[in-house]
Structure 1
Amino acid sequence: MALRRFYNEIKGLKVKELPSYVKPMLSVDYAKKTVQRGLDNYHAKYIQTNSVDPLFHVCFGGMIFSYLVALPEERRHLEHQQHAKEHGH
C-alpha cells in the first residue's frame, strides 16, 4: 500500500525532480516521525480498543525471532548430516 502511494506520488515527477523529492525521506528525522506515526496508529488501533491482538503479535513475533536465531545452527546440522550421508558415515 505504501509503495503504491509512493509510486503515485513520483509518477508525475520528472527525473531531475526525483532526487530532491526523495532526499528528505532518507533523513533520520523523517524515519523517526514515520516510526512514531506507526506506533501512534498501532496504539489507537489495538491498545485503546482493549484488543487481544498485541498478545498474539508478541507470541508470534517471539516464535519467529527464536526460529531466526536458531536457523544458522539448524543449517549447519543439516549440512553435516548431508555430508555424512554422502561419505557413508
Structure 2
Amino acid sequence: MAMRKVYSEIKGMKVKEVPNYVKPMLSMDYVKKAFQRGLDNYNSKYIQTDSIEPLYHVCFGGMIFSYLVALPNERRHLAHKEHGNH
C-alpha cells in the first residue's frame, strides 16, 4: 500500500522534482520512524487483539529462514550429485 501511495504521488511530478521528494525518505531518521510506525501498527493489529497470527508469523518465518540458511549447502550437494560424484 505504501508503494502505491508513493507511486501515485510521484506519477504527477516532473523528473526534476522527484529527487527532492525521495531524498528525505532515505534519511536514517525517516527510516527509524517508519520502522517504529510499522511496529506500532503490528502491535495494535495483532498483539493487542490477542490474535494467534504472531505465532504463525514466527513459525513460518523460522521455516523460511532455516530453508534459506540451508539452501547453499543443498545446492552444492545437488551440483555434486549432478556430476556423478556421489
TM-score normalized by the length of structure 2? 0.94
Q: Which runs of 5+ in 1 are unaligned?
A: none
Give per-residue Cα distances to partners, 1:26-67, cap 9 Å, x unaligned: 111111011000000000000000001101100000000000
Identity %: 73
2:11 and 2:82 map into 1 onto residues whose CA distance is 50
Q: Which runs of 5+ in 2 are unaligned?
A: none
1:21 and 1:53 map into 2 onto residues whose CA distance is 36
Higher-Rg member (1/2): 1
The runs of 4+ residues in structure 1 deviating greater than 3 Å are none
Aligned to 2:60: 60
User: How do residues 72-83 of structure 1 correspond to structure 2 at under 5 angstroms?
Assistant: 72-83=72-83
Aligned CA-pair RMSD: 1.2
User: How do residues 23-42 of structure 1 correspond to structure 2 at under 5 angstroms?
Assistant: 23-42=23-42
User: How do residues 14-25 of structure 1 correspond to structure 2 at under 5 angstroms?
Assistant: 14-25=14-25
Aligned to 2:70: 70
